[in-house]
Every structure is written in C-alpha cells, then in structure tokens.
C-alpha cells in the first residue's frame, strides 16, 4: 500500500518531467548528460526509475556527507573533542540496517514491475526480425495484424554520403551533413530506415549472423544484444511519428562506430500503404525471378 503510493507519486513526477523535456530530445543533443525520457510509455517509466534512484542517491549523499562535515567541524580535536570509547550500539545498528533495506525495496519494487512489463511481448500487432551483421542491419517484416507479410525485408547501413565523408583523407566536412530537420547527422544516418507504425505494439526478434552486436535506440528505453545462434525478443510502442536514431551498442569490430540505426515512425495508415507497396514490389521481383529461372533449356544442349 505504502510502496504503491510512492510508485504512483514517482510515476506522476516522472510523467511531468518527461512531458517537459521529451519533445526537445527527439535527436541526441551535444552535452546531453542525462538519460532521455524517450518516446514510449516504457521509456518514460525507465526514465522515472532512473530519476527516482538519482534523487534517492542525492538525498543519501546530502545526509551522509552533511553528517560527516558537521562531525568534522563541530567535534574537531582543536576544540577539545575527545573520542568516545563505546564500540556497539544495537539500536543504531538496527536503524542503519532497516532504513537501507526499506530504501532498496522501494527501488526494487517499481523496477521489477517495469522489467516484467518490458519483457512481456505478448499481444503485439506486428513482428520485425532484426539481424545484425558486420557492419549493417537487416530488417525483415514477419507479420502485421495477424497476417504474414510477404517477403518484405532489406539491409540498412550507413548512408553513402556519410560513408564518403568518413573515408580517411576524404577532405569532406562532416558538419556539412544535415538531416531534413537541420540535425547534424554525421554517422547517424542510414540508407534505408526501419519504418514502423506509430501507436502499434511491435515485437522484435533479434539475432546476429557473425559476432555479437546490440540494437539500441535510446528513445525506446532499452537495448538488446544481437547474438549469433540466439533469438532475443523485445517490443516497443512508439507514441508519435518521428525519426529516432541509435547505434550498435556492442563493440563488434572495425566498423562498430559506423552502423547506425534509424527508426522512422509513421502514422498507421501511411505505414499500411508503405507495407502494401513493398509487398507489391517484392511480388514483381519474385515473378521476374521465377520467369528467369523457368526459361526452357534449348534442345540438344545439357
Ligand atoms: Cu555491431
């Protein structure tokens, strides 16, 4: 009952601070020191937990260092202070054991609730398979609203302009690269973003085909290791359309710093149009491929 109250207060406080700061942080900012509150319900919960733990630590720091400074100033030797000789005090020891236990429980309780919620991928309306490679990502759309998606998948890698600029001795200016909204997107832009519908629960199944990578978009509030031979799952539900950027978060080799992630969240109707167009294009490709492989072998050969 008591913890529920604490959690509700922390949640309300977190939601208020998220509203105040969320919009300004759609892109990473220079000197952005704090965690972002992100663009999903879970990312805001994670941010709330982070701030709750932060302020608990600040409170403990103030009390502990305050008591230390008062003791050092008021009871210093030059003022004639003489050290006490007792070594145990059961009441005091009980207090300094029980209080930290209560603090830890009050932090662990909401954190566990959020963790449980974050791992529950059930009830998703869509599945995307993410495969990591040195040094790019592959996205395959598996199903949408209970129906399998027909062969929609693509590789997403550092865009060609970024790739040209990053070459040693290219002589090109990294600051000349800007996204449509004026953001300096050097090393943060890809050729094909992962297109997702806003307001839809999306399940990700994440793996890798060579070494361990990690798929990380800070605005979504989690990162997930992509491990060869293992399929990890995660989910997200992005509130608002927008561009959300991330990077590989597990040192995976020479070009680890050059495999960014861009998620493009679009309104649901726009996403459905996009998906239908992708499916149609893939069907045409498939038909052309079948026609090519079915060309009859000329008589008298083979
Ligand atoms: Cu990687």
If phi > 0 it is left, if psi is from -120 to 50 it is alpha, else beta; for residue 97 that is: alpha
1-5, 81-85, 266-270: segment of lowest average pLDDT: 1-5
Q: Determine the average pLDDT of the residues in 275-296.
A: 84
Q: Which residues contact 132 (CB under 8 A, 6 or more apart)?
A: 138, 206, 207, 208, 209, 210, 213, 215, 226, 248, 252, 259
Phi, psi (deg, nearest 5) at residue 99: -60, -50
Q: How far is the CA of 33 from the centre of ligand 1 (A)?
A: 24
Q: How far is the CA of 225 from the centre of ligand 1 (A)?
A: 10
Q: Is the pLDDT of residue 112 over 50?
A: yes
In the sheet with 222-226, reading across from the earlier edge strand, the strands are: 194-197, 261-266, 242-248, 213-217, 222-226
Q: How far is the CA of 252 from the centre of ligand 1 (A)?
A: 5
Q: How far is the CA of 125 from the centre of ligand 1 (A)?
A: 28
Q: How far is the CA of 73 from the centre of ligand 1 (A)?
A: 53
How much of the chain exceeds pLDDT 90, in percent? 69
172-181, 223-232, 293-302: segment of lowest average pLDDT: 293-302
Q: How far is the CA of 257 from the centre of ligand 1 (A)?
A: 8
Please confirm whether the linkage preceding 199 is cis (ω < 30° from 0).
no
Residue-range domains of the chain with CATH: 2-22+34-81+89-119 (1.10.287), 126-289 (2.60.40.420)
Q: How far is the CA of 139 from the centre of ligand 1 (A)?
A: 14
Q: How far is the CA of 215 from the centre of ligand 1 (A)?
A: 8
The alpha carbons of the chain give a radius of gyration, in whole angstroms, of 27
Q: How far apart are CA 282 and CA 164, in angstroms?
A: 29
Whole-number pLDDT of residue 8:
52
The CA-based dihedral angle spanning residues 264, 128, 259, 174, taken in that order and rounded to the nearest 10 degrees: -10
Confidence of residue 298 (pLDDT cuts 50, 70, 90): low
More confident residue, 197 or 1: 197
Q: How far is the CA of 223 from the centre of ligand 1 (A)?
A: 12
Q: How far is the CA of 184 from the centre of ligand 1 (A)?
A: 22
Q: Is the pLDDT of residue 86 over 90?
A: no
Average pLDDT in the chain? 88
Confidence of residue 301 (pLDDT cuts 50, 70, 90): very low
Q: Which residues contact 16 (CB under 8 A, 6 or more apart)?
A: none
Q: Which residues surround ligand 1, an ion (CB under 5 A)?
A: 213, 248, 252
Of the candidates 243, 275, 247, the one whose C-alpha atom is nearest the C-alpha of residue 259 is: 247
Whole-number pLDDT of residue 20:
42
Q: How far is the CA of 227 from the centre of ligand 1 (A)?
A: 10
Whole-number pLDDT of residue 264:
95
Of the candidates 220, 226, 192, the one whose C-alpha atom is nearest the C-alpha of residue 206 is: 226
Q: Determine the average pLDDT of the residues in 172-184.
A: 81
Q: How far apart are CA 119 and CA 121, in angstroms?
A: 6
Whole-number pLDDT of residue 249:
97
Q: How far is the CA of 166 from the centre of ligand 1 (A)?
A: 17
What pLDDT digit, counting tens, does each position of 200-240 carry?
Answer: 999 999 999 999 999 999 999 999 999 999 999 999 999 99
Q: How far is the CA of 255 from the centre of ligand 1 (A)?
A: 8
Q: Is the pLDDT of residue 21 over 70?
A: no
What pLDDT digit, counting tens, does each position of 25-36 carry?
Answer: 467 777 888 999
Phi, psi (deg, nearest 5) at residue 213: -125, 180
Confidence of residue 78 (pLDDT cuts 50, 70, 90): very high
Q: Angle, to 10 degrees, between the axis of helix 41-74 and the axis of helix 90-119?
A: 160
What pLDDT digit, counting tens, does each position of 237-269 carry?
Answer: 999 999 999 999 999 999 999 999 999 999 999
- Dihedral sign for Cα atoms in the order 34, 158, 280, 205: negative
Whole-number pLDDT of residue 267:
97
Half-sphere exposure of 14 (CA within 13 A, CB side): 27
Whole-number pLDDT of residue 25:
43
Whole-number pLDDT of residue 295:
65
Residue listed under structure tokens 């230390």: 68
Q: b/e for 178-201, b at 16 or more Cβ within 10 A?
A: eeeeebebbbbbbbebbbbbbebb
148-152, 229-233, 282-286: segment of lowest average pLDDT: 282-286
Q: Which residues contact 204 (CB under 8 A, 6 or more apart)?
A: 127, 128, 129, 130, 215, 224, 233, 234, 235, 236
What pLDDT digit, counting tens, does each position of 28-58 carry?
Answer: 777 888 999 999 999 999 999 999 999 999 9
């Amino acid at each position: 009952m008591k913890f529920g109250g604490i959690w509700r207060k922390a949640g309300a406080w977190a939601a208020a601070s998220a509203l105040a700061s969320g919009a300004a942080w759609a892109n990473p900012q220079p000197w952005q020191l704090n965690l972002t509150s992100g663009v999903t319900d879970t990312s805001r919960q994670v941010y709330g937990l982070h701030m709750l733990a932060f302020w608990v630590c600040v409170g403990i720091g103030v009390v502990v260092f305050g008591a230390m400074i008062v003791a050092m100033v008021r009871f210093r030797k030059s003022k004639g202070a003489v050290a006490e000789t007792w070594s145990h005090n059961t009441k005091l020891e009980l207090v300094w054991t029980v209080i930290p236990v209560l603090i830890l429980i009050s932090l662990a309780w909401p954190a566990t609730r959020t963790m449980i919620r974050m791992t529950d991928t059930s009830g998703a309306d869509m599945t995307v398979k993410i495969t990591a490679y040195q040094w790019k990502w592959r996205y395959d759309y598996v199903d949408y609203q209970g129906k399998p998606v027909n062969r929609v998948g693509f590789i997403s890698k550092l865009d060609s302009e970024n790739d040209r600029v990053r070459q040693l001795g290219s002589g090109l200016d990294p600051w000349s690269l800007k996204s449509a909204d004026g953001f300096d997107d050097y090393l943060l832009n890809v050729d094909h973003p992962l297109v997702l519908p806003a307001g839809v629960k999306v399940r990700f199944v994440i793996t890798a085909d060579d070494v361990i990578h990690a798929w990380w978009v800070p605005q979504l509030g989690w990162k997930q290791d992509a491990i060869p031979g293992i399929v990890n799952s995660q989910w997200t539900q992005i509130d608002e359309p927008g561009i959300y950027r991330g990077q590989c978060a597990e040192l995976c080799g020479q070009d680890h710093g050059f495999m960014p992630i861009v998620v493009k969240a679009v309104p649901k109707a726009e996403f459905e149009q996009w998906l239908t167009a992708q499916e149609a294009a893939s069907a045409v490709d498939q038909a052309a491929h079948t026609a090519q492989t079915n060309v009859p072998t000329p008589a008298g050969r083979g």
